[in-house]
Amino acid sequence: MNSLPYIQLQVSTTSLPYIQLYLGEYLADVLHLTTEEHGKYFLLLLDYAQNGPLELQKVSTPLDEFFKLQNNCWVPVGRHIKKIKRVKVENGRLPKGLWDEIRMRIFQRDNFTCQYCGQRGGKLECDHIYPVSRGGSNHESNLATSCLKCNRSKRDKTVEEWKSL
Quick one: pLDDT band at residue 35, thresholds 50, 70, 90? low
| Distances 56 to 62, 66, 80, 155 between C-alpha atoms, Å | 11, 11, 8, 41
How many C-beta atoms surround the C-beta of residue 157 within 10 A?
15
Residues 142, 40 contacting (CB under 8 angstroms): no
CATH 1.10.30.50 residue ranges for the chain: 110-163
Q: How confident is the model at residue 4 (pLDDT cuts 50, 70, 90)?
A: very low
| Structure confidence at residue 134 (pLDDT) | 83
Residues 126 and 106: beta-carbon distance below 8 Å: yes
For residue 38, the model assigns a pLDDT of: 72
The pLDDT of residue 71 is: 72
36-92 per-position pLDDT tens digit = 777 777 777 777 776 777 776 666 777 777 777 777 677 777 766 766 666 665 555
Q: Pick from 143, 145, 162, 156: which is nearest to 32 by CA?
A: 143
The per-residue pLDDT for range 108-157, each reduced to its tens digit, is 999 999 999 999 999 999 999 998 888 787 788 899 999 999 999 999 99
pLDDT of amino acid 105? 87
pLDDT number for residue 57: 61
How many other C-beta atoms can be found within 10 angstroms of the C-beta atom of residue 33? Answer: 17
CATH (one of 2.60.40.2230, 3.40.50.11540, 1.10.30.50, 3.30.720.200) for 110-163: 1.10.30.50
Q: Give CA–CA dist 39/26, Å, rounded.
A: 13
Confidence of residue 16 (pLDDT cuts 50, 70, 90): very low
Q: Is the C-alpha dihedral spanning 11, 14, 20, 26 positive or negative?
A: negative
Beta strands in 2-130 (DSSP E): 6-10, 18-22, 67-70, 73-76, 87-88, 124-128
